[in-house]
Amino acid sequence: MAFPIRTVFLSGALAGLVAGAIAAPAFFPAAFAAEPQKHILDTASEIFPKPFDPKALRKFDIIVDDSVSTKPLRTETVSKIGFGQRSMVAIVTTSSGTYSSDAIASPYVRYPGIDVVQKDDGDYDRHHHSWFGFATSPYGTRTWSQITRGSFTVITSTFTPAKRSRG
């Protein structure tokens, strides 16, 4: 009887393919398997913008001297493109000069008779309040907090029901 060499080789090749398919994940690093998830997080950060921080707003004290006229003779509004952003700028002409809304608070532009001083965040600490508390009753416990910063107030409240006694 002849030995079926072709059958033995085909069986061995098939067994090698099955063993290779089972062992293949062990040969790839873990980062290769996590690659698609990393890209999903990259696109999620592009879709959802970062929340607005009111502390980023700048506040100024603007002191106008008596020599500066505040009665406008002519007002123009122009569109300005700077740093890839479009903004609207008001240009006002008075009897004492021409002033720009874009440059009035700039540290690089000084108008005669107009003093601009940036306020510190310390000036607004008197408007910062935090309140926390809790109350218990036979029905459960209520915990609450109120945080005020300037004109923004955040209130949170949670209620945890009391455990029922079976009797």
pTM, two decimals, is 0.41
Structural contact between residues 72 and 92, judged by C-beta atoms closer than 8 angstroms: yes
Nearest to 75 by CA among 87, 61, 88: 88
Query: Above 90 in pLDDT, residue 74?
Result: yes
Please give the pLDDT value at position 121: 60
pLDDT for the residue 76: 93
Q: If we measure between CA atoms, which residue out of 108, 107, 120, 73 comes closest to residue 92? A: 73
The answer to whether residues 102 and 54 touch, using CB atoms and an 8 Å cutoff, is: no
Judged by average pLDDT, the poorest of 15-29, 37-51, 79-93, 138-152 is: 37-51
- pLDDT > 90: what percent of the chain? 12
Q: What is the pLDDT of residue 136?
A: 87
Cα distance between residue 139 and residue 160, in whole Å: 9
- The two structure tokens encoding residue 41: 């997080």
Amino acid at 154: V
pLDDT on residue 112: 87
Residues 21, 25: Cα–Cα separation, whole Å: 8
